[in-house]
Amino acid sequence: MTAPQIDEQIAQYSQTCTKLIDEVGRVLVGQEAMVSRLLIGMLTGGHILLEGVPGLAKTLTVSSLAKAIHTGFSRIQFTPDMLPADVIGTEVFNPKEATYSIKQGPIFSNLILADEINRAPAKVQAALLEAMQERQVTIGTETFRFEDPFLVMATQNPIDQEGTYPLPEAQVDRFMLKVMVDYPTRDEERKVVDRMAGGKPMPEISAIATPEDIMGARGVVEKIWCDDKVRDYVVDVVRATRNPAELGVRGLEGMIETGASPRGSINLMKASKAHAFLQGRNYITPHDVKSLAPDVLRHRVMLSYEAEAEGKTVDDCIRQILDNVPVP
């Protein structure tokens, strides 16, 4: 496919993404970065983890985006007393016929809102592993594949809050992006108060996109061009989380316990393509990589005790890597 043809498809499908952003904006004030990251997940099939204190419209954003797409949507409210069967389903015995039948759980949908995922115990969180990675679940002896698009958008409160459980590293790695949701600005918060406390009903979200639109846009994103030098830059940024000195990053010796795996490189490349697509370009620039690197890497890098003792955060280390790895 030629570049002009790709440009034409980008213009066609990016218009749909713009409409989605505008539709979500009817009920959401600010949080443009969170909405764009959710769209990147939609365009790449990557799962998204949103972290922030309660009351920052995480659930509202995800549910509004799901309503704007005419597809299946399921919300799972995680609680400490949940069982794995509450998520994936179970076998039900019929005493009259002496047979078993499958009762499918709420995971059987297209867009899954896993609300407050870190309030569930580890065995329930582990039940999502096969679903998120393999796009399928096994109940009894039968395996069920999910229909595309299938995307898990999870929210969690910070793990230092009471009544929460840290997510297992194996499950955290299944998320393409971990997005930190911050407080709104003063002007945005004033608009929120005017809109939500004004006595007017919240606007209804209209379905303006279809699964076919999403899958078509994914096909275009896969065709976004990337120069070999930018590919090398993606690999170098991720490798710098494992051995900073090898890539010329000084000051991080002994600070990083575990770096990002090759899955981080794959996801950074995919996310950068989607970011370029949302910007209306048919090629990736190093700016795309820099913009997405913190969200792709922050949950894949584990700091050492020395770094924690010095007050360094994962984002500090990633920022230092991005500032020192040579940009093509």
Query: DSSP letters of 85-149?
Result: HHHHEEEEEETTTTEEEEEE-TTSSSEEEEETGGGS-HHHHHHHHHHHHHSEEEETTEEEEPPSS
Whole-angstrom CA distances from 145 to 1, 7, 70, 109 are 31, 34, 20, 11
SS3 at position 265 = helix
pLDDT at 198: 67
The CATH number of whichever domain residue 319 belongs to comes to: 1.10.8.80
Question: Total domain count for the chain?
Answer: 2
Q: What is the pLDDT along the chain (328 residues), one digit of tens a residue?
A: 676 777 788 888 888 888 888 888 888 777 778 888 888 998 898 999 988 887 777 878 888 888 888 888 888 988 888 888 888 888 887 887 777 778 888 999 888 888 888 888 888 888 887 788 888 888 878 888 888 888 888 888 776 666 677 787 777 888 999 998 888 888 888 887 877 776 677 778 888 888 888 888 888 888 899 999 999 999 999 999 988 888 778 878 888 888 888 999 999 999 999 999 988 888 899 999 999 999 999 989 888 888 888 888 889 889 999 988 888 8
99 is a domain residue = no
pLDDT at 159: 64
Per the listing, tokens 């004030």 go with: 29
66 is a domain residue = yes
Cβ-contact 16, 209 below 8 angstroms = yes
The CATH number of whichever domain residue 168 belongs to comes to: 3.40.50.300
Burial of 11: CB neighbours in 10 Å, binned 0-12, 13-18, 19+: exposed
CA dist., res. 277 & res. 81, Å (int): 42
Rg (alpha carbons) of the chain, rounded to whole number: 21
Considering the domain architecture, whether residues 117 and 232 belong to the same structural domain is answered as no
Considering the domain architecture, whether residues 190 and 247 belong to the same structural domain is answered as no
Last residue of a domain, one of 170, 185, 215: 215
Residue whose C-alpha is closest to residue 214's, from 41, 47, 43, 68:
43
CA dist., res. 229 & res. 285, Å (int): 10
Query: DSSP letters of 145-202?
Result: EPPSS-EEEEEE--TTSTT--PPPHHHHTTEEEEEE--PPPHHHHHHHHHHHSSSPPP
18 is a domain residue = yes
CA dist., res. 71 & res. 79, Å (int): 26
103 is a domain residue = no
- Host domain of residue 307: 224-324
Considering the domain architecture, whether residues 64 and 129 belong to the same structural domain is answered as yes
127 is a domain residue = yes
Cβ-contact 156, 164 below 8 angstroms = yes
Neighbours of 14 (CB within 10 A): 17
Considering the domain architecture, whether residues 67 and 207 belong to the same structural domain is answered as yes
Structure tokens at 94: 């019929």
CA dist., res. 148 & res. 54, Å (int): 30
pLDDT at 272: 94
94 is a domain residue = no
Last residue of a domain, one of 215, 243, 260: 215
Considering the domain architecture, whether residues 8 and 66 belong to the same structural domain is answered as yes
Considering the domain architecture, whether residues 253 and 206 belong to the same structural domain is answered as no
196 is a domain residue = yes
CA angle 26, 288, 133 (to 5 degrees): 80
pLDDT at 165: 76
Considering the domain architecture, whether residues 248 and 158 belong to the same structural domain is answered as no
Considering the domain architecture, whether residues 210 and 233 belong to the same structural domain is answered as no
Considering the domain architecture, whether residues 259 and 200 belong to the same structural domain is answered as no
pLDDT at 161: 64
CA dist., res. 43 & res. 31, Å (int): 19
Residue 73: its H or E element: strand 73-77
Cβ-contact 81, 89 below 8 angstroms = no
Query: DSSP letters of 283-307?
Result: B--HHHHHHHHHHHHTTT-EE-HHH
Considering the domain architecture, whether residues 142 and 39 belong to the same structural domain is answered as yes
Last residue of a domain, one of 166, 190, 215: 215
First vs last C-alpha separation in the chain: 26
SS3 at position 24 = helix
126 is a domain residue = yes
Considering the domain architecture, whether residues 139 and 51 belong to the same structural domain is answered as yes
Considering the domain architecture, whether residues 229 and 198 belong to the same structural domain is answered as no
Tally of residues, the chain: 328
DSSP 56: S
| Amino acid code (one letter) for 115 | D
